[in-house]
Amino acid sequence: MFTRVPLTVALAVMAGLPALAGSATFLNFTPLTSSAGPLPIGGPEEETPITLASASWSQRLLADRQTQNALVPNSNTGNWDMITANETGWRAGRYLFMPFETGLAGVQRVDLKDPNDNTRTVTIVAPGTDSFVSGDASRWAPWGGYLTGEESWGAGSTKGRLFEVTNPVSAGPNSGTFVRRNIIPRVSHEGLAFDRARNLYFVDELNGGSIYKYVSAKPSATTGDEYFAAGQTFALKVGAGGQFEGNNGPAITGAAIWVAITTPTGGPIAGISVVLPDLTIDGRASADDNDVLATGYNRPEDLEVQRLGRGTELLYFATTDSDINNNGNDGTSRVYTLNLATTDVQLFASPQTTDLATGLPVGVGLRNADNIAIDGDGNIYIVEDRNGGVDDDIWFANDRNMDGDLLDAGEGLARWVSNGTQGSEFTGLYFEKNDESDREGDDREREGRRRRAFVNVQHPPSGVDRLLEISFGRTSDDRDE
C-alpha cells in the first residue's frame, strides 16, 4: 500500500456536515449538499457563477470571449476547453493556455501577471489554422512546447490530429508556430499526460475507445521535433482484451498489458496497423485489430498522472458514460487508475462511491465525469460534463492514503464547487503548481503559490465563454501589488 501523511478529516460539524481540513490548498471546506441553482441567463451574475464550498475562497473573472472579440473581431470562436500552464522554463507558471472546441479551432494564452483586461489574453493560433477543429486536449510538454489535439475522428475523417505550438510563450497574436505531430495515430483526442519517463499517454474519446501510450525513441529530447521523430505507440489491453464497457456493464479492471500498434520508429506493423491515405495510422482501427484486442472504455476523456513515493505513478482516466444499468437517474461514469509500474487497472470512483456530505453512495450526484485535475499536493478532482444551473459540479476525491481507491474509512467524494450558468459546463480545471517566483527567489511571492485554481465556463447561451480564477486565502491581487 502507498503511504503519505493523511489528510485530516475533522469530525467537527459545520451545518451538520463533516469539514474536510488539511494544510494544503483548498482542503478546508464543508462539502456542498446540492448543485448550484440557475442564474439569470446573460445576466451580470454569470461573471461570478460559481457556488463555493468555503467562505474563505473567492472567485474573479480573468477573461471572457465577448471582450476578446470586441478587441479583435473574430479572433475568438469560443468553447474554451482544457487548461494548462507553462510548467517549466522561462516564466514558469505565468501563462495559461487553452484551445477552442469549435469548427474553427484556435489557441489562446492568458498572462496571469498582466492586470490589464484588454491585454491579458491573446489568441496565438488563429481560428481554423491548418483546418484545426474541435480543440480539446491541452498539455505542457517537458521540453517547453504546448500540445493540443482534435476531439474529432471517425470513418473517412481527416482530423484526429495532435499539434504542438513550439513557441507558446513568445508567440504574438496569431503567430504561434503550429506543427502537426503525425507520428501519433489518429484518434478523437482529449486527455494527454506524461509520466516521469516522458512517455505520452492519450485516449480515443469514443464509446469503446482505448487508452494509448507513445514511447519516444528520444525521451530526453529538448524539442518536439526530436521527441516525435521516432517512437512506438501501444494500446492498453486489460485481461483477455476486446471488452466493450458500454453503459450497462461492470467496471473493467485487472491486470493489463500494452500491445504495440506501430513499430519502434512509428511505422506500420503489417497485419495490425491500419494505414490511412496520408500514410498516418488510424489508432482506433488498429487498437481493434484481432491481434491487439485493446480494451474499449465508454468515452475515455481526460488523463492525469499522480506521482507518489518510491517512483510509483498512477494514471487516472475518466469514462464519461459508463454505467451498470443504462439508467442515468442513479448516476453515470467512472474514474479508473492504472498503476504504471504493475499495469493493474482498478476502479477509483463511480456513482457507488460514498458522498462525504451524506455518508451514502453519491448516486445521481455524479454524472458524466469528464475532466480530471490534480492540485499541487497530488489530490484528484473530478469535473462533470453537465448542464450548469442544474447539476454541473466539481468533486474532490478524498483518497486519504493515496492508494488509488476510495474504499478506506473516511474516503469518498465531496462536492467542491458548482456552476450556476445555465446551458454551460465547467471545463479545464487547473491548479497553480508554480510561478516565476520559484526561480526568481521572491519569498513574498513564493508564500502565495498554489493558492489559485482556474476553470472555464464553456458554451453558455450568451456565447460568452469565461475563464474564472478561484483563490484561497490571499488573493492574486494582493500578491501582484
Asked if pLDDT for residue 450 goes beyond 80, the answer is no
Asked if pLDDT for residue 18 goes beyond 90, the answer is no
| Least confident interval from 204-218, 243-257, 419-433, 444-458 | 444-458
Alpha helices in 356-452 (DSSP H): 437-440, 443-446
Inside any domain, residue 397? yes
Asked if pLDDT for residue 163 goes beyond 80, the answer is yes
Give the pLDDT confidence of 38-90 residue by residue, as tens digits.
999 999 999 999 999 999 999 999 999 999 999 999 999 999 999 999 999 98
> What is the mean pLDDT of the segment spanning 256-261?
98
Asked if pLDDT for residue 173 goes beyond 80, the answer is yes
Inside any domain, residue 480? no
Q: What is the pLDDT of residue 437?
A: 44
Share of residues in the chain with pLDDT > 90 (%): 86
Inside any domain, residue 219? yes
Inside any domain, residue 164? yes
> Measuring CA to CA, which residue among 306, 291, 320, 312 is closest to residue 203?
320
> Measuring CA to CA, which residue among 319, 346, 382 is closest to residue 190?
319
Asked if pLDDT for residue 20 goes beyond 70, the answer is no
pLDDT band for position 472 (cuts 50, 70, 90): confident
Dist CA 97 CA 147 (whole Å): 10
pLDDT band for position 451 (cuts 50, 70, 90): confident
Q: What type of residue is 451?
A: R
Asked if pLDDT for residue 286 goes beyond 50, the answer is yes
Inside any domain, residue 103? yes
> Measuring CA to CA, which residue among 117, 112, 64 is closest to residue 84?
112
CATH code of the domain covering residue 175: 2.120.10.30
Q: What is the pLDDT of residue 447?
A: 39
Strands (E) across 196-261 are located at 200-203, 207-209, 211-216, 231-238, 254-260
Q: What is the pLDDT of residue 380?
A: 97
* Mean pLDDT (the chain, rounded): 91
Return the SS3 of 286: helix
C-alpha cell at 315: 494514471
Residues β-bridged to residue 395: 382, 415
Inside any domain, residue 463? no
| Least confident interval from 4-8, 176-180, 192-196, 203-207 | 4-8
C-alpha cell at 134: 474541435
Return the SS3 of 8: strand
Strand 369-374 versus strand 393-398 pairing type? unpaired
Asked if pLDDT for residue 10 goes beyond 50, the answer is no
- Length of the chain in residues, anyone? 481
Q: What is the pLDDT of residue 26?
A: 87
Inside any domain, residue 203? yes
> Taking a C-beta distance cutoff of 8 angstroms, is the pair 27, 8 a contact?
no
Q: What type of residue is 183?
A: I
C-alpha cell at 330: 442513479
Between the alpha carbon of residue 420 and those of residues 20, 51, 63, 100, 394, the distances in Å are 23, 7, 18, 22, 12
Whose cell is 475532466? That residue is 371
> What is the mean pLDDT of the segment spanning 458-469?
97
Q: What is the pLDDT of residue 456?
A: 98
Q: What is the pLDDT of residue 70?
A: 97
Q: What type of residue is 421?
A: T
Share of residues in the chain with pLDDT > 70 (%): 90
Residues β-bridged to residue 140: 146
Whole-structure pTM value: 0.93
Can you give the three-state secondary structure of 57-121, one letter per residue? Answer: EEEEEEEEHHHHHHHCCCCCCCCECCCEECCCCCCCCCEEEEEECCCCCCEEEEECCCCCCCCCE
| Least confident interval from 297-306, 380-389, 439-448 | 439-448
Q: What is the pLDDT of residue 21?
A: 52
Asked if pLDDT for residue 384 goes beyond 50, the answer is yes
Dist CA 466 CA 455 (whole Å): 8
pLDDT band for position 474 (cuts 50, 70, 90): low
Give the pLDDT confidence of 201-212 residue by residue, as tens digits.
999 999 999 999
Inside any domain, residue 47? no
C-alpha cell at 462: 450568451
Total of domains in the chain: 1
C-alpha cell at 309: 513515493
pLDDT band for position 336 (cuts 50, 70, 90): very high
Give the residue numbers spanning the domain of 30: 8-37+61-417
Q: What are phi and psi of 454, to 5 degrees?
A: -130, 140
Return the SS3 of 409: coil
